[in-house]
Structure 1
Amino acid sequence: MPASPLFRRIDVAPAYQKVADAIEREIVSGRIKPGDPIGTELELVRQFGVNRSTVREGIRVLEEGGLLRRDSSRRLQACLPRYNKLATRLSRALVLHEVTFRELFEVSMTLEIASTECAVERATEEDIAELAENLARSEQVIADPAALAECDADFHVLVAKASHNRVLQLAREPAAQLFFPTTEMIVSHAAQGATRLVEAHRHLLEAIRRRDKAAGVQWTRRHLQDWRRGFERIASLDRSVEHMYMEHAQAVRRK
Structure 2
Amino acid sequence: MMDIEKLQLHPAYRVVSDDLRQRIVRGEIQPGEPLPTESDLASRFGVHRSTIREGLRQLEQDGLVRRQGKKLLVAVPRNSDLASAAERALRMHQVTFGDVWQVASALEPLCAELAAQRITEAELAALALNIEQTAAHVAHGRSVVASTIEFQSLVAEATRNQALQLARAPVSLLMRAGYAAIAPALPQSGERLLEAHRHVFEALRQHDVEAAVGWTRKHLLDYRRGCEFAGLDLDLPIPLAMPADGPPK
TM-score in terms of structure 2 length: 0.89
Post-superposition offset of 1:56: 1.2
Q: Are 1:173 and 2:152 matched, yes or no?
A: no
Distance 1:18 1:183, change over 3 A: same
Greater shift, 197-206 or 42-51, is seen at 42-51
Residue 39 of structure 2 is matched in structure 1 by 42
Distance 1:116 1:249, change over 3 A: closer
Residue 219 of structure 2 is matched in structure 1 by 223
Q: Are 1:84 and 2:55 matched, yes or no?
A: no
Q: In structure 2, what residue type is equivalent to 1:239?
A: L
Q: In the alignment, is the contact (CA less than 8 A) between 1:149 and 1:184 conserved in 2?
A: yes
Post-superposition offset of 1:17: 1.5
Cα distance in 2, alignment partners of residues 225 and 41 from structure 1: 53
Q: Once the two structures are superposed, what CA deviation does each residue of 1:60-102 show, in whole Å capped at 9, x if it has no partner?
A: 111111111111x221101122223222222222222222111
Post-superposition offset of 1:108: 0.8
Q: 1:139 aligns with which of 124, 135, 153?
A: 135
Distance 1:50 1:169, change over 3 A: same
Q: In the alignment, is the contact (CA less than 8 A) between 1:100 and 1:240 conserved in 2?
A: yes
Q: Equivalent residue of 2:73, what SS?
A: strand
Q: Equivalent residue of 1:242, what SS?
A: coil
Cα distance in 2, alignment partners of residues 29 and 117 from structure 1: 34
Task: Give the aligned length.
Answer: 246
Q: In structure 2, what residue type is equivalent to 1:107?
A: V
Post-superposition offset of 1:142: 1.0
Q: What are the residue-to-residue correspondences of 1:150-161 with 2, within 5 Å? A: 150-161=146-157
Distance 1:230 1:144, change over 3 A: farther
**Aligned-pair RMSD on alpha carbons?**
2.3
Q: In the alignment, is the contact (CA less than 8 A) between 1:149 and 1:181 conserved in 2?
A: no
Q: What are the residue-to-residue correspondences of 1:239-250 with 2, within 5 Å? A: 239-242=236-239, 245=242
Cα distance in 2, alignment partners of residues 243 and 69 from structure 1: 28
Is there any run of 5+ residues in structure 1 with no aligned partner, and where? none
Q: Once the two structures are superposed, what CA deviation does each residue of 1:146-175 show, in whole Å capped at 9, x if it has no partner?
A: 431111111011111111112222211222
Is there any run of 5+ residues in structure 2 with no aligned partner, and where? none
Runs of at least 4 residues off by over 4 Å: 243-246, 248-251
Q: In the alignment, is the contact (CA less than 8 A) between 2:183 and 2:189 conserved in 1?
A: yes
TM-score in terms of structure 1 length: 0.87
